[in-house]
Amino acid sequence: MAQNFVLNVSDVNKSFGGLQALTNINLQIEEGKTHAVIGPNGAGKSTLLNTVIGRLAPDTGSVLFDGVNLTGKTAHQINQLGVARVFQTPEIFLDLTVLQNIEIAALAKRDGAFSFKPFRSMFSETKIQQEAVDMLDDMGLHHLRDHPAANLSRGDKRRLEIAMCLIQHPRLLLLDEPTAGMARHDTNRTIDLLQRIKARGMTKVIIEHDMHVVFSLADWISVLAQGAIIAEGTPEDIKGNPKVQEAYLGGTEV
Ligand code: ADP
Ligand code: MG
């Protein structure tokens, strides 16, 4: 039976000068699943994500999203196809309010670009505004709606960026270390949020360092070390894999 893969990464290689950052990467991501990519610092995780979202071109290989080859498409074209991403450093508009950030993301998807039309016309977009307000409620950011994004805690900035992705209704959401630098309380709130997204059936690829987050969310895990996938499987498989413990977990029990 043919599997329903949303994302198909085949034989991707990427080098920076003499450094082979990715070697023969193959990944198949099933619809509705949460697929985690873990690995030590410098393993190539962000490079892999950047090749999927069109920030970097792979040297060889292909990335198919829903059967469409993403190689050679711009980051913007890839976003328009239904792929959204949360970067390691939140990309939000610090001078705008929380609500305005979400509205801009919604307009960007609708109008095909980040749009800086006068805010007056933006506020006439009643439907978009209503959806943005609902999103804030859903994300537990409602009390911050009129605050400049610059004033938010690191965890709230991350959640705002996730909300900016969700308002675009992507089919595939890619998250690069969404809980990096967060306090445990914020991490747990973000896990709750990501679990709620999962219940809605969105497909996710999550790059994550924190094993608590990975084992709370992932259906399937690929382990990257020195640019190559050294193991993959269910969280149970990965917990018990001695190769993974040696390469990534320093031989300690997880
Ligand atoms: P990770 O996200 O797993 O920590 P990265 O993908 O950021 O790892 O980096 C993988 C390797 O590629 C590292 O050795 C890093 O120094 C190198 N690298 C990443 N981006 C670039 C770049 N733009 N130019 C040169 N080297 C890079
Ligand atoms: Mg990284």
Please state the length of the chain: 254
* pLDDT for position 111: 65
- pLDDT mean over 180-207: 88
Quote the tokens at residue 156: 């709230």
pTM: 0.86
Please give the span between the terminal C-alpha atoms of the chain, in angstroms, as a whole number.
Answer: 35
For the chain, the domains span 1-74+171-254, 83-169
Q: Domain 1-74+171-254 is in which class?
A: alpha beta
For ligand 1, the distance from its centroid to the CA atom of residue 170, given in whole angstroms, is: 26
Q: How far apart are CA 165 and CA 79, in angstroms?
A: 10
Distance 198 CA to ligand 2 centre (A): 23
d(CA 130, CA 128): 5
Cβ of 43 below 6 Å from ligand 1: yes
The response to whether residue 197 sits with its C-beta less than 6 Å from ligand 1 reads no
Ligand 1 site, residue 18, Cβ cutoff 6 A:
no
pLDDT band at 242 (very low <50, low <70, confident <90, very high): confident
Any atom of ligand 1 within 6 Å of the Cβ of 221: no
The alpha carbon dihedral of 156, 162, 182, 75 has a sign of negative
In this prediction, residue 253 carries a pLDDT of 44
What pLDDT is recorded for position 28? Answer: 95
What order do you get walking across the sheet with 68-69 strand by strand? 19-30, 5-16, 60-65, 68-69
Q: What pLDDT score was predicted for residue 249?
A: 59
Per-residue pLDDT, 90:
67
Neighbours of ion ligand 2 (CB under 5 A): 45-46
Q: Is it true that 1-74+171-254 and 83-169 share their CATH fold? A: yes
Residue that is written with structure tokens 């969404």 in the block: 178
Please give the number of the atom of ligand 1 that sits closest to the Cα of 44: 6
Residues 40-88: tens digit of each pLDDT: 889 999 999 999 888 899 999 999 999 999 988 988 888 889 999 887 6
Q: What is the 3-state secondary structure (H, E, C) of the chain?
A: CCCCEEEEEEEEEEEECCEEEEEEEEEEEECCCEEEEECCCCCCHHHHHHHHCCCCCCCEEEEEECCEECCCCCHHHHHHCCEEEECCCCCCCCCCEHHHHHHHHHHHHHHCCCCCCCHHHHHCCHHHHHHHHHHHHHHCCHHHCCCEHHHCCHHHHHHHHHHHHHCCCCCEEEEECCCCCCCHHHHHHHHHHHHHHHHCCCEEEEECCCHHHHHHHCCEEEEEECCEEEEEECHHHHHCCHHHHHHCCCCCCC
CATH superfamily of 83-169: P-loop containing nucleotide triphosphate hydrolases (3.40.50.300)
Q: In percent, how much of the chain has pLDDT > 70?
A: 89
Q: How many of the other CB atoms lie within 10 Å of CB of 221?
A: 25
The two tokens of residue 147 are 């605050």
Ligand that lies nearest to the alpha carbon of residue 47, given by its number in the listed order: 1
Task: Determine whether the shortest distance from the Cβ of 46 to ligand 1 is under 6 A.
Answer: yes
Counting ligands in written order, the one closest to the CA of 89 is 2
Which one of the ligands is nearest to 19 CA?
Answer: 1
